[in-house]
Amino acid sequence: MNHSELAKQLLPAIGGEANIAGLTHCATRLRFTLKDESLADEATVKAIKGVLGVARSGGQFQVIIGPEVPKAYVRR
């Protein structure tokens, strides 16, 4: 999985960088807190190569990418 390419495709699919209020991760998921969850296009996110699924839980938009998630997580 090319993590840079994943990020380039993921950002617009969740409403852009300006829509991200917070970001963290667990062992298998990127966990986004979005300012406006309606801007996240679940179908587009699921279609991105390397994305295994999507979940919405606890006010978070979670992108499941498996155990490689720490490599994909880059904090600015």
Mind telling me the catalytic residues?
A: 26
Other C-beta atoms closer than 10 Å to the C-beta of 32 total 21
**Prediction pTM value:** 0.90
Measured between alpha carbons, how far is 56 from 47 in angstroms, rounded to an integer? 17
Structural domains in the chain, CATH included, are 3-72 (3.30.1360.60)
State the pLDDT at residue 75: 54
Q: Which residues are CB-contacts of 42 (< 8 A; sequence separation ≥ 6)?
A: 54
**Which parts of the chain sit beneath pLDDT 50?**
none
